[in-house]
């Protein structure tokens, strides 16, 4: 019987991993099709500026309203990221309706709608996937208990939830190791080595399934290729650069504190002002529609949108930030030589969204950072099922990229140590920025591992860890984490 | 006061990290100098076969006797790896004299002697470094308590030990992430996210110091370069190859069970047969001398030694196994063309130790595996301060390399999927073998991360994780882990 139970556990984890990976993959396919359809319609209407505006905003408003409706009419528990509630649930608080199939369906529908909005709505999928994976773990656990006729075991339930959280993160990033650690850090305060093994197993099954599906679908997962050949493995960074990475870490930590402060106080206003609170309760869908109208107007590609990469999805934005060129230099050569380079593949060409006649790359990155700061704050006030990790991660990558491009501009000939000239690699700074900023917001350090798994390279392990630790130290001293802030406000 | 305490903790972790890294680095320099001196003396005596034999064996016997004497006359607690004892101590058992300066000194001396023996004595430094780091953590903690006048706090002591274990592993491999996780997995069953952050901070300090020292000493740490340019990042392995990695994992798991079974029963015989036990108690140094004489005779470079890479140190052995060539093919081209290739650098040339006139690469690897199996068993019976992780890691790498070379021989034109021909990469199998075998012996899975940090690449994350999980599943079902086995026998 003991032996049977052992086998059951692994079957359970296996099923959990493959089903979440399949859902994640399907969602990626659906949302990218929707985005392409929207861009196609937009381009077909070229010449009719008003129709284009109508089509662009209608697409985004309709999706956001759909998402808000799913949270309102199907299950109220589906709203938000789900991680703060999960954290509370793991500490023993019983949440009504939080782990039900109904909530799962609402969350899935809501997330599909949100993600199809690309980088306009600027929300992500990590939190919802963690929530959905824990729901699936609970439901699968109930089926297993019913099937084997055993009695329910509360400590086993805790293990299932931890494994679920690991699978949820691992599915989003195809990152088994970072997924497990991030899942643990973000939800718990203690964990057993036993649970950590379970999480690893389930997360590996999920990552494998994801990879297999990608091959079957003929879209080879290209996360490992974000950095191309010229990425230096032999001596990827210089010792003086470590200091520069540390400064980037403290920038990320400082900006993160500003963001956390604004976010918490804004939530507080929405919660405590009776009039606003009353209005929000009754007009969630209307409010979501209004906010998305503002956001979509901002990102309209013939308006401000052209300067903030509005036509790119979240994943494509990340790809451009992790791109292994020095944009400043490429831009200069583009201006002087051919206006349309022809020898670039589709993936490489995405970064050309960051070249415009009227603004330089640096100015566009600054504009992106300023706009997205307020757009993200606005997006988090909507009551829709969506994650807040991916936007923060993208934001950090942009911050790091800006810093890296500035460094490359200040030291155009690279930094010289021991007579060896080392070019500055802006992509390395983007990597460190993404890990440090998202780590500081969520107050975790496994974001460093996530970035390594995303890029398939660990050569920047020391600078990235330094940046993450410094950003975390600043953030943990001055502010509660993003998720703890939500818990504090909702208490 | 709370704020002061906060600062103190980080200062403590910082000091712990940099001092252990300095010790680790110094030890590496000293042992590599000793090894070079031994090889120099050996080569100077060329032509006098008997003198060479005398010099080779005398060097190794003297070192081992020195190591055994340190364990006998300075501190008996310094013998062995220290991890089983640490595991027991973390569960609350009070061990006499285990965390004292005297034990620290004995361990350090003993490890220097053992490691200077290169791959002949076939023992490592991970366990001793974990032990030494926890001693240093305890002593530093006492100094801090005395300095600030606070009272000792048992839960804080536990935290210090966990951080110490993380630093110990991180120092050996310059692997902050894998170090923390391996330290946790190998010593504990539960841990707090707080401790994990501490471990990360201390381990990052250690890794940074190690890197800085390497630069100051003009010996750039080359662990990141073990894989050279031709390593495929774009699509590093094929899906059918995943199955092949799974088979390698089960080989590793099976062989590991045989090894654990032999090791435990051999220890049992030494413990339970009154005559042997009595003899061992009184003649530890004599026994160590005898065993090392046998080992050194086996590895005599003009004898069997030439076929098992006796002139290479543990680190050089690893470098050759992770070497990004297909030896079988290179060997064939060496035989036909020039007998002495001239265009290889020193590091690259090390693999030529695996080419001989009378034996092929595959035969030599098989001989290496058979010889080292018994040599490691013999070495673990000596009562000297030494680690058992590194030899197991090297052994796994050899196993993986053999498997990979066989695969490359069976599929000389690579594996074809979707019309794309993929060459087999034996180095990838060596990586998976090292992680899977050492993971199975210690029953941990973070060995996968250690290999990624060693090589600076994560492109093989899925195959390596699959191999590690399968090897672990087999080993955990059938045998207690290496360290638990020692605890069981010593009870």
**pLDDT tens, position by position, A32-47:** 899 999 999 999 998 8
pLDDT at B237: 64
pLDDT at B309: 83
Residue ranges of A 447-476 with Cβ closer than 8 A to chain B: 448-449, 452-453, 455-459, 461-462, 465-466, 469, 472
Hey, is the C-beta of A434 within 8 angstroms of any chain B C-beta? no
Q: What is the pLDDT of residues A391-446, one digit of tens each?
A: 999 999 999 999 999 988 888 877 766 566 677 788 889 999 999 999 999 999 88
Contact call for B457 and A456, based on CB within 8 A: yes
Q: Between B347 and B278, whose confidence is greater?
A: B278
pLDDT exceeds 70 at position A7: no
Which architecture does CATH list for B2-224? Answer: Orthogonal Bundle (1.10)
CB B225 within 8 A of CB A234: yes
pLDDT at A417: 62
Give the model's confidence band at B416: pLDDT under 50 very low, under 70 low, under 90 confident, else very high.
Answer: low
pLDDT exceeds 50 at position A479: yes
Give the model's confidence band at B319: pLDDT under 50 very low, under 70 low, under 90 confident, else very high.
Answer: confident
pLDDT above 90 coverage of chain B, percent? 29
CB B260 within 8 A of CB B412: no
pLDDT at A237: 64
Which of A469-478, B185-194, B320-329 has maximum average pLDDT? Answer: A469-478
Residues of chain B positioned with their CB less than 8 A from the CB of A475: none
A-B C-beta contacts closer than 8 Å: 122
Residues of chain A positioned with their CB less than 8 A from the CB of B448: 177
Residue ranges of A 165-204 with Cβ closer than 8 A to chain B: 176-177, 184-185, 188-194, 196-197, 200-201, 204
Say how many C-beta atoms besides its own lie within 10 A of residue A454's C-beta.
23
Q: How many helices (H) and strands (E) does chain B have?
A: 21, 3
Residues 6+ apart with CB under 8 A from B201: A469, B10, B13, B14, B17
Residues 6+ apart with CB under 8 A from B321: B394, B397, B398, B400, B401, B427, B430, B434
Contact call for B208 and A233, based on CB within 8 A: no
Residues of chain B with CATH 1.10.3080.10: 2-224, 239-490
Q: Find tokens 């590194």 and name the residue.
A: B390
B420-422 vs B415-417, strand pairing mode: antiparallel
Helices (H), B340-388: 346-349, 361-381
CB B431 within 8 A of CB B460: yes
Integer angstrom CA distances of residue B451 from B113, B373, B428? 26, 22, 11
Say how many C-beta atoms besides its own lie within 10 A of residue A273's C-beta.
12
Is the ipTM, as predicted for this complex, more than 0.90? no
pLDDT at A296: 92
For the segment A127-136, the average pLDDT, to the nearest whole number, is 92
Q: Residue B55 has which token pair?
A: 């010099």
* DSSP assigned state of A337: S
pLDDT exceeds 80 at position B440: yes
Residues of chain A with CATH 1.10.3080.10: 2-223, 239-490
Q: How many helices (H) and strands (E) does chain A have?
A: 21, 3
Contact call for B191 and A190, based on CB within 8 A: yes
pLDDT at B374: 93
Quote the crossing angle between the two packed helices B239-272 and B482-490, to the nearest 10°: 10
Contact call for B194 and A189, based on CB within 8 A: yes
pLDDT exceeds 70 at position B220: no
pLDDT at A335: 58
Q: What is the pLDDT of residues A38-96, one digit of tens each?
A: 999 999 998 888 999 999 999 999 999 999 999 889 988 888 888 888 888 888 788 88
Say how many C-beta atoms besides its own lie within 10 A of residue A458's C-beta.
27
Measure CA A93 to chain center. 27
Least confident of A194-203, B50-59, B132-141, B289-298: A194-203
For the segment B207-234, the average pLDDT, to the nearest whole number, is 57
For the segment B405-415, the average pLDDT, to the nearest whole number, is 84
CATH 1.10.3080.10 holds for A239-490: yes
Contact call for B176 and A461, based on CB within 8 A: yes
Q: Find tokens 């060129």 and name the residue.
A: A325
pLDDT at A3: 43
For the segment B374-385, the average pLDDT, to the nearest whole number, is 90
Mean residue pLDDT across chain B: 83
Residues of chain A positioned with their CB less than 8 A from the CB of B196: 185
Q: What is the pLDDT of residues A329-386, one digit of tens each?
A: 777 766 554 444 444 445 556 777 777 777 888 888 999 999 999 999 999 888 899 8
Point out the residue among B190, B227, B458 whose CB comes nearest to the CB of A190. B190
Residue ranges of A 210-269 with Cβ closer than 8 A to chain B: 211-212, 215, 220, 224-225, 227, 233-236, 239, 242
Any idea which fold A2-223 has? Clc chloride channel (1.10.3080)
Contact call for A189 and B191, based on CB within 8 A: no
Residues of chain B positioned with their CB less than 8 A from the CB of A188: 193
């Amino acid at each position: 019987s003991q032996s049977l139970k052992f086998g059951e556990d692994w079957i359970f984890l296996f099923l959990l991993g493959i089903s979440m990976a399949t859902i994640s993959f399907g969602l990626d396919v659906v949302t990218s099709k929707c985005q392409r359809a929207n861009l196609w319609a937009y381009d077909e209407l070229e010449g009719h500026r008003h129709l284009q505006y109508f089509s662009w905003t209608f697409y985004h408003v309709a999706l956001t309203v759909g998402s808000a409706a799913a949270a309102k009419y199907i299950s109220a528990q589906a709203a938000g990221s789900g991680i703060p509630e999960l954290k509370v649930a793991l500490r023993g608080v019983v949440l009504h309706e939080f782990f039900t199939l109904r909530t799962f369906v609402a969350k899935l529908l809501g997330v599909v709608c949100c993600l199809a909005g690309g980088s306009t709505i600027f929300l992500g999928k990590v939190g919802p996937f963690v929530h959905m994976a824990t729901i699936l773990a609970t439901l699968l656990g109930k089926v297993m208990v019913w099937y084997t006729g055993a009695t329910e075991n509360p400590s086993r339930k805790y293990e299932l939830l931890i494994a679920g959280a690991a699978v949820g993160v691992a599915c989003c990033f195809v990152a088994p190791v970072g997924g497990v650690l991030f899942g643990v850090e973000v939800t718990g305060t203690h964990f057993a080595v036993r649970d950590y093994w379970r999480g690893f197993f389930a997360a590996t099954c999920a990552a494998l399934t994801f990879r297999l599906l990608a091959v079957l679908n003929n879209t080879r997962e290209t996360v490992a290729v974000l950095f191309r050949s010229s990425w230096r493995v032999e001596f990827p960074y210089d010792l003086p650069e470590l200091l520069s990475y540390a400064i980037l870490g403290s920038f990320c930590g400082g900006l993160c504190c500003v963001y956390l402060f604004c976010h918490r106080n804004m939530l507080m206003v929405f919660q405590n002002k009776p009039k606003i609170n009353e209005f929000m309760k009754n007009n969630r869908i209307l409010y979501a529609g209004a906010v998305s109208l503002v956001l979509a107007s901002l990102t309209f590609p013939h308006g401000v949108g052209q300067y903030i990469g509005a036509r790119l999805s979240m994943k494509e934005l990340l790809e451009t930030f992790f791109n292994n060129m020095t944009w400043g230099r490429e831009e200069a050569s583009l201006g002087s030589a051919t206006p349309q380079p022809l020898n670039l593949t589709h993936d490489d060409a995405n970064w050309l969204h960051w070249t415009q006649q009227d603004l330089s790359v640096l100015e566009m990155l600054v504009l992106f950072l300023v706009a997205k700061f307020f757009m993200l704050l606005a997006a988090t006030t909507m009551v829709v099922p969506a994650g807040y990790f991916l936007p923060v991660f993208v934001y950090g990558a942009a911050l790091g990229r800006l810093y890296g491009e500035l460094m490359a501009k200040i030291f155009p000939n690279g930094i010289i140590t021991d007579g060896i000239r080392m070019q500055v690699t802006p992509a390395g700074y983007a990597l460190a920025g993404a890990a440090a900023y998202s780590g500081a917001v969520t107050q975790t350090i496994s974001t460093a591992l996530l970035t390594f798994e995303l890029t398939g390279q660990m050569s920047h392990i020391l600078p990235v860890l330094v940046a993450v630790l410094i950003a975390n130290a600043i953030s943990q001293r001055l502010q509660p984490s993003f998720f703890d802030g939500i818990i504090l406000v909702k208490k």
